[in-house]
Amino acid sequence: MHHWSRKDFGSTFRWGVSTAAYQTEGCHDADGKGLSIWDVFTRKRGAIYQGQHADVACQFYQRYADDLQLMHGLGIPNFRFSLAWSRIFPQGRGAINAKGLDFYHQLVDTCLALGIEPWLTLYHWDLPYALEQKGGWTNRDVVGWLGDYAETCARAFGDRVKHWMVLNEPLVFTGAGHFLGIHAPGRRWLKNFLPAAHHAALAQAEGGRRLRFHLPDAHIGTTFSASYVEPQFDNDRDRGAARRADALFNRLFLEPALGLGYPTTTLPFLNRLEKYHQPGDDKLLPFDFDFIGLQVYTREVVKHSWFMPYVGATLVKAAARKVPHTLMGWEVYPESIYRMLKQYAAYPQIKQILVTENGAAFEDTVRGGRVADDRRVAYLRDHVGQVLRARQEGVPVEGYFTWTFTDNFEWAEGYRPRFGLVHVDFETQQRTVKDSGRWYQAFLAGQAQESVPKPTTT
Q: Give the burial class of 306: count Cβ atoms within 10 A of its Cβ; 0-12 exposed, 13-18 middle, 19 or more buried.
A: exposed
C-alpha angle with apex 171: 249 to 264, nearest 5 degrees?
60
Q: How long is the chain?
A: 458
For residue 275, give the nearest of 381, 159, 358, 190 by alpha carbon. Answer: 190
State how far the Cα of 379 lies from the Cα of 324, in Å rounded to an integer.
11
**How many CA atoms are closer than 13 Å to the CA of 61, on its beta-carbon side?**
24
Catalytic residue among 169, 230, 331, 335: 169
State how far the Cα of 267 lies from the Cα of 312, in Å rounded to an integer.
10
The H or E element that residue 103 is part of is: helix 98-113
C-alpha angle with apex 337: 334 to 340, nearest 5 degrees?
145
Contacts of 59 (CB under 8 A, 6+ apart): 25, 26, 27, 429
Task: For residue 255, indicate whether it is catalytic.
Answer: no
Angle between helices 142-157 and 98-113 (to 10 degrees): 50
The pairing of strands 78-82 and 117-123 is parallel
Catalytic residue among 25, 300, 331, 357: 357
The H or E element that residue 403 is part of is: strand 397-403
Q: Taking the mean position of all CA atoms in its chain, how far away is CA 25?
A: 17
Residues taking part in catalysis: 169, 357
